[in-house]
């Protein structure tokens, strides 16, 4: 109570002084047996150094989220957590997808942590950027977005589709931050606010920038995957992309109406010329025009129906109020060590 009053006081003066945070790293894992041992080693080492440097509190931990892996991931994670209480494991009852997995981890971690950073299991995102995230947090940011410096570790296809996608998202009015994946710090306050968003169709990258709160951006290098292969199949990527659009914007629906209006005008003009022709007695057989017009309208109608259907599907899913994930097991141990 007293601490929060002090913070408000500081905010008024434009300076935020924060205490060394309990930091939780939330790491989603789906079939990552090749990489989890190494991730635990590298992330654990980094966390230990941050503790020694006094940048994070001793109670800081790494929380792995097993997203229904079908390989040995869960067994390995449990071994890691058995060895060292710095590691905690949330295991979901099935594969709920990356977004739900990090949400599950963040919602669990906010009970213990002052700040949570989500990071992929494959060590592609530079772990050394943690210092920069923490500096922004200490300076008063409640949300810190990790933005990748470049995309040379991605293939041409992924690079191209990603760039086109960000352009499209901006065109549709969504406030996604370009080249920001889910390497991100959120303060407990921001996470508590996020917990109030109950939507099933969750697109964190679009949602979080709309929440307000002081935020900052941190740049980091992207490396090639440490081991294993990408768990984002083309269909998972398409689903995420579509969810991103339909959960953040209803502009596509409006565009259908605009399209309809344009067609209406066009047909109006064609209609008038046809009538004028008919009155003048020039009944030219317009086979090409007829065919083109019917193809065009048929296509436009189908696309429009598809878009509307996509939204209706989303409404249908939302009305069910199903849980976004189900936690099967949870391992968390008090850290007994004094280091």
- Which partner from the list ligand UDP, Mg ion, none does 121 bind, CB cut-off 5 to 8 Å by kind? ligand UDP
Q: Binding to Mg ion by residue 124, rule CB under 5 A?
A: yes
Q: What is the Cα–Cα distance from 138 to 145, expressed in whole angstroms?
A: 15
Q: In what order do the strands lie in the sheet with 215-220?
A: 215-220, 143-148, 184-187, 115-118, 23-29, 61-66, 87-92, 327-331
Check the CA dihedral 109-246-249-311 and report its sign: negative
Segment interacting with ligand UDP (CB under 6 A) among 164-172, 229-237, 283-291, 321-329: 229-237
CB of 162 to ligand UDP, least distance (A): 9
Residue 182 binds Mg ion (CB under 5 A): no
When asked if residue 243 is in the footprint of ligand UDP (CB under 6 A), the reply is no
Q: Which is nearer to Mg ion, 66 or 246 (CB)?
A: 66
- Other beta carbons within 10 angstroms of residue 93's beta carbon come to 12
Name which position in 25, 86, 101, 116 contacts ligand UDP (CB under 6 A): 101
DSSP state of 19: P
At its nearest, how many Å lie between ligand UDP and the CB of residue 128?
Answer: 18
Q: Compute CA distances 88 → 65, 78, 306, 330, whole Å.
A: 9, 8, 43, 8
Q: Which of residues 30 and 137 has its CB atom nearest to ligand UDP in the complex? A: 30
List the alpha helices (DSSP H) in the chain.
2-12, 36-52, 73-83, 98-109, 130-138, 156-171, 188-194, 204-207, 234-248, 251-280, 287-319
| 124 sits near ligand UDP (criterion: CB under 6 A) | yes
CB 53 within 8 A of CB 290: no
From 68-76, 121-129, 212-220, 304-312, span contacting Mg ion (CB under 5 A): 121-129
125 is an interface residue for Mg ion by CB under 5 A = no
The reply on whether position 29 binds ligand UDP by CB under 6 A is yes
Residue 122 contacts Mg ion per CB under 5 A: yes
Residues at the contact surface with ligand UDP, assessed by CB under 6 A: 28-30, 32, 67, 95, 97-98, 101, 120-122, 124, 230-232
């Amino acid at each position: 109570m007293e601490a929060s009053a002090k913070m408000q006081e500081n905010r008024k003066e434009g300076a935020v002084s924060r205490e060394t945070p309990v930091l939780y790293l939330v790491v989603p894992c789906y079939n990552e047996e090749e990489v989890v041992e190494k991730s635990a080693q590298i992330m654990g080492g980094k966390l230990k150094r941050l503790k020694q440097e006094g940048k994070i509190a001793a109670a800081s931990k790494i929380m792995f989220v097993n997203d229904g892996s079908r390989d040995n991931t869960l067994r390995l994670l449990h071994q890691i957590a058995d060895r060292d209480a710095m590691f905690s494991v949330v295991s979901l009852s099935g594969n709920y997808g990356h977004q739900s997995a990090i949400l599950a981890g963040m919602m669990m971690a906010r009970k213990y942590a002052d700040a949570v950073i989500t990071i992929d299991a494959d060590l592609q995102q530079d772990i050394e950027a943690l210092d920069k995230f923490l500096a922004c947090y200490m300076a008063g940011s409640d949300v810190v977005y990790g933005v990748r410096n470049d995309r040379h570790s991605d293939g041409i296809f992924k690079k191209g589709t990603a760039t086109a996608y960000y352009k499209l998202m901006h065109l549709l009015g969504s406030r996604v931050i370009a080249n920001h994946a889910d390497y991100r710090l959120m303060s407990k306050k921001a996470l508590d606010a996020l917990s109030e968003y109950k939507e099933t169709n969750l697109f964190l990258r679009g949602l979080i920038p709309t929440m307000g709160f002081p935020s900052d951006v941190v740049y980091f290098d992207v490396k090639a995957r440490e081991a294993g292969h990408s768990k984002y199949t083309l269909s998972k990527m398409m689903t995420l992309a579509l969810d991103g659009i339909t959960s953040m914007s209803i502009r596509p629906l409006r565009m259908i109406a605009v399209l309809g209006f344009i067609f209406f005008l066009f047909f109006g003009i064609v209609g008038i010329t046809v009538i004028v022709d008919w009155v003048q007695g020039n009944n030219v057989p317009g086979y090409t025009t007829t065919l083109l017009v019917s193809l065009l309208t048929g296509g436009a109608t189908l696309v429009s129906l598809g878009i509307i259907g996509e939204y209706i599907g989303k409404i249908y899913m939302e009305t069910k109020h199903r849980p976004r994930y189900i936690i099967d097991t949870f391992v968390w141990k008090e850290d007994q060590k004094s280091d």
